[in-house]
Amino acid sequence: MSGEAMASRYFIIYSGKKPTVIEKVKEIEEFIKSRGFIVDSIQIDEVMENGIPADIEALIVLGGDGTLLKSISRLPRSSIPILTINYGRGGYLMNVEPENSIEAVEKILEGRYLVEKTLMLSFKAEGRKIGNALNEAYISPAVPGKIMEFTIMKKGTVFYSGICDALIISTPIGSTAYAFSAGGPAVDNTLESAVIVPVCPLTNTRPVVLAIDEKFIVMAQSRFNLQVLIDGHIQSVFGGNIKLEVEKSEDHVLFINFEGYISFARRIQKRFK
């Protein structure tokens, strides 16, 4: 080997079986190889079973927000930067459109990119970690169309209580996803906060943007089992009483961006179209 460095390795995850996506994956793979780097590609369903190798320089995801959220839940370490290429309907988290993808990949190979460190919220139930949310947790009775009571506490103080069908606890970056559909505001990526939005509130309860300088508590109660759904795919079911601890996760997601690009501006523009 005589001191020679190993070639850098990249990893591509893609969704679905659309020919356009698969063609683009091939195009990117060939481009990366032509520059002398190593690259593998894999369909998202296989990732959920087999995971993502830890020794990669960057992850490239082609798909929509759902594919990205699943990929992130399988990341072996949170220090892997991610390039997101939009093949989704909403694609609020996807920074690059397909027509600009080769140019973006080229910049990555040449190291001409920025990294946007994006916070996640950590959710614990009864002292046990149930997951990190890049977008949000959706807390509801396990039966649709039923109500629950909730209380938000922080620093030992009850902030407010209410009755609703469900409660969405969103990150800033998730504020333009589920929480937005439920009537929440668009919140800037950099504000260290949780956006708490009640769904179908019976009480006069409205969206709240809460600082996450300290953990906060969500107590919920229902005549039915309660369910927590994180990022649309990590599901936990509990009895009719839960106490969730929510705080800034120690892990981050590193999104790849480029000079002059403001992902919050893009998220707003997509939502206000």
Q: Could you say which of 38, 102, 186, 217 contacts its own copies (CB under 8 A)?
A: 186
Residue from 9, 215, 243, 271 binding its own copies (CB under 8 A): 271
Cβ contact 231:66 at 8 Å: no
Residue of 57, 75, 70, 76 lying closest to 14 (CA atoms): 70
Each residue 83-112 as x (binds its own copies by CB under 8 A) or -, in order, gives -------x----------------------
- Establish whether 231 is a catalytic residue: no
Q: Is 154 in the site for its own copies (CB under 8 A)?
A: yes
Scan for tokens 């040449």, then name that residue.
110
The window from 75-83, 104-112, 194-202, 242-250 that contacts its own copies (CB under 8 A) reads: 194-202
Instruction: Give me the catalytic one of 55, 65, 231, 251.
Output: 65
Give me the count of residues in the chain: 273
Q: Residue 213 interacts with its own copies (CB under 8 A)?
A: yes
Residue 267 and residue 273: Cα distance in Å, rounded?
A: 10
CA-CA distances (angstroms) from residue 231 to 57, 168, 183? Answer: 25, 11, 18
Euclidean distance between CA atoms 233 and 137, whole angstroms: 10
200 binds its own copies (CB under 8 A): yes
CB atoms inside a 10 Å sphere around CB 20: 11
142 binds its own copies (CB under 8 A): yes
Residue 163 carries which side chain, given as an amino acid letter? I
Contact yes or no for 186/113 (Cβ under 8 A): no
**77 vs 65: CA distance, rounded Å:** 20
Q: Applying CB under 8 A, does 204 fall inside the site for its own copies?
A: yes
* Window contacting its own copies (CB under 8 A); options: 93-101, 115-123, 127-135, 141-149: 141-149
Q: What is the DSSP letter of 96?
A: B
Q: Does 165 bind its own copies (CB under 8 A)?
A: yes
Per-residue binder mask for its own copies (CB under 8 A), 223-262, x = binder: ----x-x--x---------------------------x-x
Q: Is 138 in the site for its own copies (CB under 8 A)?
A: yes
CB of 29 to its own copies, least distance (A): 30
Number of residues this chain uses to bind its own copies (CB under 8 A): 61
Provide CB contacts within 8 A for 8, sequence distance 6+: 37, 38, 57
Q: Which of 174, 22, 24, 169 is nearest to 93 (CA)?
A: 174
* Inter-residue contact 139 to 167 (CB < 8 Å): yes
Tell whether residue 143 is a contact of its own copies (CB under 8 A): yes
d(CA 229, CA 141) in angstroms, rounded, equals 11
178 in contact with its own copies (CB under 8 A): yes
> Is residue 164 a contact residue for its own copies (CB under 8 A)?
yes
Residues noted as catalytic? 65
Residues that bind its own copies (CB under 8 A): 90, 138, 140-145, 154-155, 157-160, 162, 164-166, 175, 178, 180-193, 195, 199-211, 213, 227, 229, 232, 260, 262, 264-265, 268-269, 271-273
